[in-house]
Chains A and B, each alone.
Chain A
Amino acid sequence: MKVITANRLLNGDVVWLGENAAWVERVTLAKVFDGKDDVDSGLAIGQQAEKNQEVVGVYEMDVTLEEGVIVPVRLRERIRAAGPTTHPQFGKQARAVSA
């Protein structure tokens, strides 16, 4: 089970590919891809977005579902989805608290 991720070109923000080829700010809102063909179709959308100067560094990453919520498998991607563990006031985790 995978999602497609990248950084926004303009500001570097971490984003994931959501529905309708939109880039979303939360991994929990990402579209899940299963199987090689499915993942390739997601990567193709990502590559098009790179060509359109929307995002950079597109790649796929493993996720799992915990109580129905998308969670990255690797620690690196969990940190990337939340922000530095040393700075809970920065990154996406800051917004998560107020949301």
Chain B
Amino acid sequence: MYRYDEFDASFVTQRTEQFKDQVRRRLAGELSEDEFKPLRLMNGLYLQLHAYMLRVAIPYGTLNGRQMRKLAHIARTYDKGYGHFTTRQNIQFNWPKLEDTPKILEELAEVEMHAIQTSGNCIRNVTADHFAGAAADEVADPRPYAEILRQWSSLHPEFSFLPRKFKIAITGAPNDRAAVQVHDIGLQLTRNDDGEIGFVVYVGGGLGRTPMIGRKVRDFLPEEDLLAYSEAILRVYNRYGRRDNKYKARIKILVHETGLEELKADIEAEFEKIRYGVLRLPDEEVRRIEAYFAPPPLEVGPVTSEAVEARREKDAAFAQFLAHNLNPHRVPGYTSVTLSMKPIGGIPGDASDAQMDVIADLAEQFGHDELRISHEQNVILPHVKLEDLPALFGKLVAAEIAEGNAGLITDIIACPGMDYCALATARSIPVAQRISERFGTAGRQAEIGELKIKISGCINACGHHHVGHIGILGLEKKGEEFYQVTLGGSANENASIGEIVGRGFSSEEVVDAIETLVDTYLGLRSGNEETFLEAYRRVGEAPFKEALYGAA
């Protein structure tokens, strides 16, 4: 994986020193809160309901055992023994003290990590497919490009005061697992007829209070133009994006209000001015960065393992795990394993310090020291030998991260909601926990099959509810929590925004409503193979609406 060069190391160290001094000046009364707040936010430090919250960047969701062990250490030493993996492949600590944060940032810098650009109106952590570099369906590993974008966007002086935050996602596979069409810029690696690498480019996707699917602006952007074209998009956005109203300040609104063709012309015009300048990517530089992401040496092995088959026969939990938590690897004899951070009835995305330590050990022991965090709030071991699965599974069971539910109804995305977040209008986590308990038996989950439930505790949509097959949005109505349900959303290559099915539900009613929807689906699907989303797209909302509210 990528290792800091001298430039990276020096800017992270400088930034840590700067923040240390800013905290000192704040505590000495030399900076007011109004002056300090933008500075702390630039370093990922929020103030939430109960305490400060520190969001640490995990670039494109990739980290190693040593880094994970450091996160465990921070959770144990400076927090309350746990961290929370987010929907942008980052980790949040919920209880740090202001006075400790300079020390925490120093500790992070020791393992080449930081919290820069995890907040504020700048280019945020670039996210990528969590199976990057391993997936069988991959055109190319997206992470070298994500790293190039990271270097370009880190402390970019022109883009440090954008109209609003800016999120970029990249996938290397035709099956989009990085939700690129709901990002400000979405990139999909592809090859042209001559076999050259390039990108399909989407602009103006996003969730929040005005959900929109990104619009395609390029069918094929050559590799060498990645930075110049990205810079052109950012320049057009920085110049024309609205600054009068923060709720209309994202690039999706600009795309919507300007019109795609006019905006595309603006981008292309800007691009023409700079395409042959310093941002043109030299081939040798791309190959140099690519070398950092060279796959570990993996020997081709048999595609079945006797040990695995023997255990599958006699261990139902293991069989369930194999059925759902493995992703096909490009090297025969290997697989990518999802470690579920969604125990039945548990808190989606939370990991204890002890679990993080175990995960670090397992990465070193079974996974060539590579880890990924998925935007679905799980942890991935991308390169595991098939025959190691029984031994690995035993350790996962002991650490309580062995649930075989990846992609199933209990693999719920949930934002922190009103249990932590100052913006939330309702709780998310307890709803996720109750749904998980309701559907949590192995047989029932497997029978229902792939079903993505996503829950947000306010219209800012951190829980991605708009793109949930079933989306749940928590609101406040007359002082009570109140949940609106959407159906038919999806964040993959066939992205769609879910439709509100009807009037919302109280906290007491909402889990029953979800069960009604699930039962309705089971009753009308054409066969076990037809997923909830496929069935919904075939029959529309009418049967679901009728089941919830009765005949119109």
Contacts and interface: CB of A to CB of B under 8 A. Distances in A.
Given A79-B418, A79-B419, A86-B347, A11 B99 contact: yes
Q: 3 tightest CB-CB pairs across the interface, nearest first?
A: A12-B51, A84-B419, A12-B52
Given A10-B97, A75-B479, A53 B50 contact: no
Contacts, number: 75
B47 A12 contact: yes
B479 A7 contact: no
23 contacts: A7-B47, A7-B51, A10-B98, A11-B98, A12-B51, A12-B95, A12-B98, A50-B32, A53-B28, A53-B29, A56-B47, A74-B479, A76-B49, A76-B418, A79-B419, A80-B50, A83-B50, A84-B419, A84-B420, A85-B419, A85-B427, A86-B430, A90-B80
B27 A90 contact: no
Interface of B: 26-29, 32-33, 47, 49-52, 80, 95-99, 347, 418-420, 424, 427, 429-430, 433, 476, 479-481
A76 B479 CA distance: 9
Given A79-B49, A80-B49, A86-B347, A50 B418 contact: no
Interface string A69-99: 0000111100110011111001100000000
Given A7-B47, A7-B51, A76-B49, A53 B427 contact: no
Contact of B27 (A53, A83, A86, A87): A53
Interface in A1-52: 7, 9-14, 50-52
A80 B424 CA distance: 12
A52 B32 CA distance: 10
Contacts of A91: 50
A85 B50 contact: no
> Majority SS of interface residues in chain A?
loop
Contacts of B424: 76
Interface of A: 7, 9-14, 50-53, 56-57, 73-76, 79-80, 83-87, 90-91
A11 B101 CA distance: 10
B429 A86 contact: yes
A83 to B, nearest CB: 6
B433 A84 contact: no
Nearest to B347: A86
Nearest to A83: B50
Contact of A84 (B50, B98, B479): B50
B326 to A, nearest CB: 30
A75 B418 contact: yes
A54 B387 CA distance: 58
B27 A9 contact: yes
B502 to A, nearest CB: 24
Most buried by A among B28, B52, B96, B479: B52
B47 A90 contact: no
Contacts of A51: 29, 32
Given A79-B419, A90-B50, 7 more contacts: A12-B52, A53-B29, A57-B47, A75-B418, A75-B479, A76-B418, A90-B80
Most buried by A among B347, B427, B430, B433: B427
